[in-house]
Structure formats: structure tokens, C-alpha cells
């Protein structure tokens, strides 16, 4: 029959106790140690109480904290670092630590993206609405290539050519003229001898109208009158 004896392990002189004692022996308060070593207060308290799990997850950060404390307390860094490692200060850690992304930290960024999206939508709506209003209140374009104003012609007809909005209705002297998908038109109208007034009018579906007037002067020579009696040399027959 074996007898087991349980011995309580004294943890009062661990690394944390040693560093705290060294600080107190130097007469340095914990606030002064924070200012001189730039080790955050919560991490310095964690080290002095051997709560290494509260330290940053990167080895480089933990070693840097211990090194700064050793410089301040005039301790051997190699010895302290060895004890720090033995007591679990550097176990199960990667050389480089990439912290997990806290979803709460994404809230400001997510809110920023939402605001940008909302502003973009509002701007797009305003621009689109302005474009629609501009299309409603602006009269349709009407460019007449032929005939030109004051045109002289010896023919009793003229070509009507030009360009307007593709959805507009075009009339020439009250007669509707077809407009193709590009808004261009090409037709021929008859003229009379003398001054002809040609009125082109294009109307949008919203009611706005644009009118262009052209004047064309037609000079058609009348055929010569032939005197049969004179040309044949026949004298006038008198009753």
C-alpha cells in the first residue's frame, strides 16, 4: 500500500512576483513604469499577476514588454525571458498574430458604405428626374437641310430634308411627314410658280412644338405660244 503525499506548490515567488518586487525595490510606481516602458497598464498588471493569457497574442509584443521591464529594473533579460517561457508566457503562440475581426468594428465601415450607397441613389434619382423634366420642358430639335431660306428654283417641286427628335411628329404645311428611327426625314412636296411658304412643325409627345419656316421662289417659264397662221404664211381670212 503506497501513501501519496500532497505538497502545495508555492506560487508566491513566480515571475510576476519577481518583476513586481524588482519594481517596488526601485521605488517605481506602476504608473511610472507604464510611462517609462510604454507598456499598457492592463498588460503590466497582467504580467505582475502572472495572467499571461491576457497579454497580446504575438510573441514579439510579449517579449518586447518583458525586455523593457528588464531594462527599467536592471534585470537579466535572458534569465527573465527563460522564466517567462517556462511559466507559459510564450507557449502556443505564433510569431505573427493576426487578430480576429470583430464584427462590431465593422459597423462604422458598414454604415459608411450604406450612406455612400444611399447618397449615390439619391444623386442618380435627382439626375434622372432632372433629365426627364428637361426632356419635357425642352422643345424638340428641328434641323432643316433642304430647302434653304430664299431658295430659287426652276422646278415645281423641292426636297424636304432634315432631322428632328425620333419620337416627334413632323408636319409640313399641315401634312404629316414620316420620321425614321434616327429622327431623319426626306420627302418631296409640290410648289407653285412664285413665292412659296413652307412651314415645318415638329411636336413632342409632351406637347412642345418647334416650327421652322422656309421661303422658296419658283420661276418656271411658260411654254412659247405658236401662231399657226403666221408661221405657215397663211393670210388672214376675212369673212
Domains and CATH numbers, the chain: 15-86 (1.10.260.40), 142-218 (2.60.40.10)
Predicted structure pTM score: 0.40
For the chain (length 239 residues), average pLDDT per consecutive 10?
Answer: 43 82 92 93 92 88 91 92 85 53 62 87 88 77 91 91 88 91 91 93 83 91 54 47
pLDDT for residue 229: 47
What residues does 194 pair with on adjacent strands?
A: 218
Q: Which residue in 188, 190, 212, 191 sits closest to 201, CA to CA?
A: 212
Paired with 188 in beta bridges are: 159
Residue among 48, 233, 226, 214 at smallest CA distance from 142: 214
What pLDDT does residue 225 have?
A: 54
What 8-state DSSP symbol labels residue 173?
T
Amino acid at each position: 500500500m503506497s501513501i501519496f503525499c500532497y505538497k502545495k506548490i508555492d506560487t508566491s515567488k513566480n515571475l510576476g512576483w519577481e518583476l513586481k518586487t524588482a519594481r517596488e525595490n526601485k521605488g517605481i510606481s506602476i504608473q511610472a513604469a507604464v510611462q517609462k516602458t510604454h507598456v499598457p497598464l492592463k498588460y503590466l498588471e497582467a504580467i505582475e499577476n502572472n495572467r499571461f493569457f491576457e497579454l497580446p497574442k504575438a510573441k514579439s509584443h510579449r517579449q518586447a514588454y518583458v525586455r523593457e521591464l528588464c531594462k527599467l529594473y536592471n534585470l537579466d533579460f535572458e534569465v527573465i525571458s527563460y522564466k517567462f517561457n517556462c511559466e507559459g508566457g510564450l507557449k502556443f503562440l505564433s510569431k505573427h498574430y493576426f487578430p480576429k475581426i470583430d464584427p462590431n468594428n465593422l459597423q462604422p465601415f458598414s454604415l459608411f458604405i450604406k450612406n455612400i450607397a444611399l447618397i449615390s441613389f439619391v444623386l442618380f434619382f435627382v439626375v434622372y428626374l432632372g433629365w426627364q423634366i428637361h426632356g419635357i420642358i425642352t422643345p424638340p430639335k428641328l434641323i432643316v437641310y433642304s430647302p434653304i431660306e430664299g431658295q430659287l428654283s426652276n422646278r415645281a417641286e423641292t426636297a424636304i430634308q432634315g432631322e428632328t427628335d425620333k419620337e416627334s411628329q413632323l408636319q409640313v404645311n399641315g401634312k404629316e411627314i414620316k420620321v425614321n428611327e434616327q429622327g431623319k426625314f426626306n420627302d418631296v412636296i409640290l410648289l407653285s410658280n412664285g413665292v412659296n411658304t413652307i412651314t415645318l412643325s415638329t411636336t413632342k409627345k409632351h406637347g412642345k412644338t418647334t416650327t421652322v419656316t422656309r421661303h422658296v421662289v419658283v420661276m418656271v417659264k411658260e411654254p412659247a405660244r405658236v401662231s399657226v397662221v403666221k408661221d405657215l404664211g397663211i393670210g388672214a381670212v376675212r369673212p
